[in-house]
Structure 1
Amino acid sequence: MHPEPRPDGRQSQTALMIQRGVGRLLRAARFAALPEFTLLSGRRVDVIGLNEAGEIWIVEIKSSAEDFRNDSKWHEYQGFCDRFFFAIANDLDPTIMPLDMGLIVADRWGAEILRDATPLNLQATRRKAMTLAFARTAALRLHGLYDPEPDALR
């Protein structure tokens, strides 16, 4: 598990802008949010949120129609959350997104839920494992902010 998200150059400026707006939306809804979170399966989601009730949301960012058409892995994310959303920029046609999934429209200043996500049945054991992984990842990233070279004393 990596303490900090590692930019790999795949994120477009549009995706980064959507990520910022989604983060603001989640925070306003009283969720702690982490970008680029690695699931227990090894897959990486764009944004994950955890609220004080323990509810977990996953948001998959789609920066273009081509980005959506080329992605077949998003179905795998639904087993790791209570609600699953796609997030798009306001200039992308929302009708290309699946009607049975949540939909968020975002810009760099914020975001709005256009279509709520259907509640999923997250298993209790997976919820516990995801909550612990979220806490550990958040703590490691925070530590990386105040001690960017933790191995320097070795």
Structure 2
Amino acid sequence: MPETLPEPREDGRQSPTARAVQRGVLRHLSARGLVGVPEFCLVSGRRADILAVDGRGEISIVEIKSSVTDFRTDLKWPDYRAYCDRLLFAVPLDFPVEILPEETGLLVADAFGAELLRPAPAHPLPAATRKALMLRFAHTAASRLAALYDPELTRYSL
């Protein structure tokens, strides 16, 4: 009998559209050899929608925009450049992509997958920043996985 894995809990911060885009983007990234952590807290206090790492250690941040209003009112995305090698937007299929900045990558997505419409230009991270992000990524991912298996683990954290 196959092992049944626990289901991640919704965090209540995202709209159904944003959750669908997130799921499709995570599938897209996985199919290309990247692993992503949603709602990744950066040392700046900002929260990246998805921080993903490939097999070479290159770090991408995907900023999800579920609507034009979401894009126009959320101006924090340029701050993410300091924490990634590549920055991309991910939007639903009906989003008017021409309003998004051309200096970022672009994915269109639904709950079943995503398509890369524009690759993200590379802007390599300094080695110390990359190391710090990789350690934070590993710790965050391992902590979340452990909490899925035992939700009471957070009671024992310092």
Letter in 2 for 1:137: T
Using the size of structure 1 for normalisation, the TM-score is 0.92
The aligned residue for residue 105 of structure 1 is 108
Ranges of 4+ aligned residues in structure 1 off by more than 6 Å: none
The aligned residue for residue 120 of structure 2 is 117
In 1, distance between residues paired with 2:39 and 2:9? 6
Match of 2:22 among 9, 19, 24: 19
Question: 5+ unaligned residues in a row in structure 2: which ranges?
Answer: 1-7
Higher relative contact order (CA 8 A, sep 6+): 1
In 1, distance between residues paired with 2:55 and 2:44? 24
What is the Cα-based RMSD across aligned positions, in Å? Answer: 1.5
Identity fraction in percent? 51
Counterpart mapping for 1:11-90 below 5 A: 11-90=14-93
Q: Cα distance 1:37–1:139, how it changes in 2: closer, same or farther (>3 A)?
A: same
Match of 2:152 among 144, 149, 152: 149
Is 1:135 matched up with 2:135? no
Question: 5+ unaligned residues in a row in structure 1: which ranges?
Answer: none
Q: Alignment length, in residue pairs?
A: 148
